Amino acid sequence: MTATLVVHPVLTGKKSSERSLQAALEEAVGLAAAIELEVTHATVARLTKITPATYIGKGRLSELATMVEEQEIGLAIMDCALTPVQQRNLEKGLGCKVIDRTALILEIFGARARTAEGKLQVELASLTYQKSRLVRSWTHLERQRGGFGFLGGPGESQIELDRRMISDRIIKIKNQLANVVRTRELHRSTRREVPFPMVALVGYTNAGKSTLFNRLTKADVVAQDMLFATLDPTIRGCTLPGGMKVMLSDTVGFISNLPTELIAAFRATLEEVLSADLLLHVRDIAHEDSGAQKQDVEGVLKELFGRDHAMEHVIEVHNKIDLLPPGAPAPYPTETVTIGVSAVTGQGCDDLLAIIEETLSKQLLEERDYTLRHSDGRAMAWLHAHGQVLKRRDMEENAIFTVLISPINHARFTRQFG
């Protein structure tokens, strides 16, 4: 196991955000631990300015180089975005391999992707990142000669060959992902015909989405106390207290400074969020940076879809209330529907299901009356299966059913039963 140094640089003159430095450093260490790196030292590097050549200043670089040598560190993680030149100069100055935050997250996604689609998305993001790393100053990419003998002029450089190969592979992957998007849209179309409302869980990584998903659907999605424990989206059915059936979608967690390459690559996966009838924004309310994490999630959603996601149909789920100190008031906002739950103990989950049903009923369902003969058991069973029967009034020959039902199901009932 490689001994690893984690450095979280921060500009001292810059206006501080809601995120605490200690929590940001712990998050970076957690990212390293997610791919089983042994972090021997983690530190915050306070900078008065960013040095163009090495990002951090000479004095700080010298201190870290001494530490790397004394502790025999083989990898340094800079919790920021480095240019190719800064990365190369840091490797020379520290005497060990250096990667930045983007490369670290890409490593995690590469290790965690399980489905063919997930692997393609990670490869696309990695190739896009690698393409930006190709710089002419690399010694193994010196210009080659073209033609025959001494008569040939300058030929195609190795860097141009590498870049062209990467570009060709990127085009191929994008074509494959386009097929994935079409297939996913077919699946969505099939679900719309059923149809069951789609409820998507979104939130910061490690907020407890998968644990809550398992609790609500009785599924067995991997849920660990680890950043990015799950990547591939999972969809399961769930029956609400009043009998309404919905589809729940568990998506990849977000994180601050999510690499733009990953946002673009995982757009196909996160289209489930865009097509959802209701979003559950799951927050780790016991985390000291819960407010900043909320802003990060909303920022990624806005970047993904080109518009503010703060739609009318969002339920903010404050998870991990069992970890709050006794008597501590949860900072519930007033601008959206909010509920506190514990996905581990189940506290508040029944109330959450009831709120989901109430919200979807107001949003999607219409109240309609159907007059059926007492002998028409098939039509009665259909209404009970696809709608919410509010009341039944029995007449001499007929029964009148008052039902909450979606417009699509009403049309299907009319076609099938007249």
Instruction: Encode pLDDT of 62-77 as tens digits.
Output: 999 999 999 999 999 9
DSSP-derived letter for residue 375 is: T
CB 61 within 8 A of CB 94: yes
Alpha helices in 53-157 (DSSP H): 58-70, 84-94, 101-112, 116-133
Phi, psi of 248 (to 5 degrees): -105, 135
DSSP-derived letter for residue 232 is: S
Alpha helices in 194-306 (DSSP H): 209-217, 260-265, 267-274, 290-305
**325 burial via Cβ count (<10 Å: 0-12, 13-18, 19+):** exposed
* DSSP result, 281-345: EEEETTSTTHHHHHHHHHHHHHHHHSS----SSEEEEEE-GGGSPTTPPP---SSSEEEE--TTT
Helix, strand or coil for residue 389? strand
> How sure is the predictor about 190, in pLDDT bands with cuts at 50, 70 and 90?
low
Helix, strand or coil for residue 224? coil
Dmax (CA) for the chain in angstroms is: 105
Q: How far apart (Å, rounded) are the C-alpha atoms in residues 32 and 389?
A: 53
Q: What is the pTM of this model?
A: 0.72
Q: How far apart (Å, rounded) are the C-alpha atoms in residues 314 and 273?
A: 11
Query: Rg of the chain over CA atoms, in angstroms?
Result: 27
Q: What is the side-by-side strand order in the sheet with 38-47?
A: 38-47, 3-11, 75-78, 97-100
% of the chain with per-residue pLDDT over 70:
78
Q: How far apart (Å, rounded) are the C-alpha atoms in residues 160 and 166?
A: 10
The contacts of residue 62 (CB under 8 Å, 6+ apart) are: none
The contacts of residue 234 (CB under 8 Å, 6+ apart) are: 213, 219, 221, 249, 250
Instruction: Encode pLDDT of 255-282 as tens digits.
Output: 887 776 667 666 655 666 777 888 899 9
* Mean pLDDT, residues 318-325 taken together: 91
Q: How far apart (Å, rounded) are the C-alpha atoms in residues 344 and 211?
A: 7
Instruction: Encode pLDDT of 15-30 as tens digits.
Output: 545 568 888 899 899 8
CA distances in angstroms from 208 to 39, 319, 320, listed in the order given: 24, 7, 8
% of the chain with per-residue pLDDT over 90:
31
